[in-house]
Amino acid sequence: MITAQSIRTSELDRTPDFVELISSARDAGHEVMLIERPMPDAVSVAAIGRAFDIVAAPGGVSLEDAQGRQVDFEPGDNRILAASRLWRRLAPALGGAAEVVATGPIAIGGFAYHPDREPTGPWSGFPSLLLRVPALAVTRVRGRTYASAAGPDDMALLELPPAPMRAPSAHKLDVTPARNPLAWTAAVENAAARLRAGEAEKVVLAREVLARGDGVVSAGMVVRGLRAAYPSCFTYLVAGADGTAFAGASPELLIRRSGNRAFSQPMAGSVARGATDVEDERLALHLMESIKDASEHRLVSTFVVEALRPFAEHVDAPAPEVVRFTNIQHLATSVRAILNDPPADALELAAALHPTPATGGWPRATADRLIDELEAMDRGWYAGSVGWIDARGDGEFAVALRCGLLWEDGARLYAGVGVMPDSDPAMELEETELKFKALMTALI
Give catalytic residue positions: 202, 252
Q: Three-state secondary structure along the chain? A: CCCCCCCEEEECCCCCCHHHHHHHHHHCCCCEEEEECCCCCCEEEEEECCCEEEEEECCEEEEEECCCCEEEEEECCCHHHHHHHHHHHHHHHCCCCCCCCCCCCEEEEEECCCCCCCCCHHHCCCCCEEEEECCEEEEEECCEEEEEECCCCHHHHHHCCCCCCCCCECCCEEEEECCCHHHHHHHHHHHHHHHHCCCCCEEEEEEEEEEEECCECCHHHHHHHHHHHCCCCEEEEEECCCCCEEEEEECCEEEEEECCEEEEECEEEEEECCCCHHHHHHHHHHHHHCHHHHHHHHHHHHHHHHHHHHHEEEEECCCCEEEECCCEEEEECCEEEEECCCCCCHHHHHHHHCCCCCCCEECHHHHHHHHHHHCCCCCCCCCCEEEEEECCCCEEEEECCCEEEEECCEEEEEEEEEECCCCCHHHHHHHHHHHHHHHHHHHC
How far apart, in whole angstroms, are the C-alpha atoms of residue 417 and residue 405? 19
Which has the closest alpha carbon to 140: 5, 31, 259, 34? 34
How far apart, in whole angstroms, are the C-alpha atoms of residue 382 and residue 359? 9
